[in-house]
Structure 1
Amino acid sequence: MSKFDEIRHYHDHEVNEVLKQISKHPMVKALMGFTFPNKSENDWMEALKEVKSIQQFQHDFVYHSIQKILEKSSSGLSSSGFEKLNKNTSYLYVSNHRDIIMDTSLLNVLLKDHGMIMTASAVGDNLVQKSFLLALAKVNRNFLVKRGLPPRELLESSKLMSEYIRHLIIDENRSVWIAQREGRTKDGNDATHQGVLKMLGMASDQEELMDYFKNLKIVPVSISYEYDPTDAMKMPQIIAKAKNEDYIKNKNEDFANLYSGIIGQKRGIHIHLGDVINTELDDIKANFDKANKQIQALTSVIDHSIVTNYHLWPTNYIAYDMMYKTDKFADKYTQQERSLFERRLELRVDKSNPIVVESFLAMYANPVVNKLKLTEHE
């Protein structure tokens, strides 16, 4: 038994058996029918039986599923920053988080296209409660983040995950994706939680924490969608927060969000890889002697990269102009694009509720607000 068995993704020697077990599940059949419309069930079932590794499964099946999803639910995926990284090096991608499945899947499609090391990705165990989803996640190189634990268990779980991430990057030369915060950004404010960095630092075997972070080769990732297919579904939680109320998810909410994120219309999608955080770590070490202050400073460096490199779409500028009743960014979109966005607002939210309207607009406008704040301070 490995100490990581509780959270790790499947190993290659386990893949074939797992795929045989889940191949008859109705959702696998639906996914394969969607991905390979010209193949019979027998054809893809036989091909699935031949899969002997995660890489083979991703290359022969998952990659094609994501391409099909892009074809049906977007106007294309664009990217920047990939050419700066070394193809044979593993990195720790710290990413803003907008969609449960698509964020990591799209990053891995681009990593594959650029001939780079694909990621093992962190996923909350609350999202894979169904045994079928858990198997599919782990066979696609996802590892588990334990949610809702009491403080003592949370500490142990965080330490284990930190050690596993270190093991993947340093011992196995496997890149890792982790969200900058727990849960998806609901309001368009992409901010790194210090707790994520503290967790990553738990496995440090070096005197200076910043030297350890250098070894992890942190790359900030900015992902942006022209339309968020789950925008309206995020409203109840945002409204509860605005009213200072506790928000309780309904039983199938995570699954509904997961499904809508995959099939819902996204239009344009862009992923940017920032520079590897390196010399900044030397500066942090030189200027701050307390670990908490160093973590705080590193959080700012990651946030600066993610916000600066976030690709703004016409929808972001339209929402800003609507929210602040201005035409400041009128040259960034057409009248048709504005009409489409206004129509979306009408169809998806209750326009008689000003909190709902403002929250919906803020979700799209805040990336513009945050970029403006950065440029004002520089």
Structure 2
Amino acid sequence: GNPIDDCWRCDPNWASDRQRLADCGIGFGRAALGGKGGRFYVVNDSSDRDTVTPAPGTLRHAVIQDEPLWITFESGATMVIKLKHELIVNSYKTIDGRGADVRITGNGCITLQYVSNVIIHNVHVYGCTPSGNTNIRSTPTHVGYRGRSDGDGISIFGSRDLWIDHCALSLCTDGLIDAIMGSTGITISNNYFSHHDEVMLLGHDDKYLPDSGMQVTIAFNKFGEGLVQRMPRCRRGYIHVVNNDFYEWKMYAIGGSANPTINSEGNRYMAPSDPSAKEVTKREDTNEGEWAAWNWRTEGDIMVNGAFFVPSGQGASLQYAKASSVDPKSAALIDQLTVNSGVLGGP
């Protein structure tokens, strides 16, 4: 079965040991502690009226604290949290939406900037729009003036040891998840992505050398209806794409520039009916003489409806070792591995 879910969901009393989740991570983000060892903080107020002095009981008040916190939500509640501006999350936080229906939307949305050890689990993130040019509190002792945000679902900037699991992301202005500026040690797993153009960006600029060490695991996700491109779009770094279900794309699934290493193992790629969009891969703004040496490989992937992956490189084992983070399961098990992708118990 799914090794993440098997680690905690098999226990009928998981709700009495929520922090066990922090021991269930896989891949490059497996070191993410989140709020493990910290106290529980229950969000019981869905409002977001004040970005400088957030009210106790709100999600914004919870995420800015300096101490490790395991943040949960009122049991059984449906909480639509319409953000006034981007939600700036401090280090050592778990946002744990299990047992409630948590929907984060509005302006922003979630920003992880120069932080580490954050887990985001079982929340909907959608309809995020750009905003800013305002003051926003990021810690109990710091308020900063923020320029305009891009309208990403989750924006990761200069951060590490992060795990995004069992979320449902759709309909944001820019990316659903963007990780840039030297971010690394990231696992994106068991999520459901839908209805969006530019899904995921890993690395923002071909010339930004610190992204050369970026390591990201993308595992057990379902890339669902209404997606166009960037699942992900990679610059530099080492990207392990393993046991995902690529259900729909309009342009391409996996793109890149600036010589990223892409290790695709045990995925299912279902091409669209458009005969000009069958290729899984896309090298952006690069001629073949240059990209022929990039290390992109497909191993054990299932190609459906005429999908094809164009590999490149010499199979440099050292490069692929840096882009290997979890043992792939057979792509024949994709339905079983991704059946619960997205928010558990939700659409």
Same fold flag (TM > 0.5): no
Larger % of strand: which? 2
Alignment TM-score, normalising by the size of structure 1: 0.24
Larger Rg: 1
Alignment TM-score, normalising by the size of structure 2: 0.26
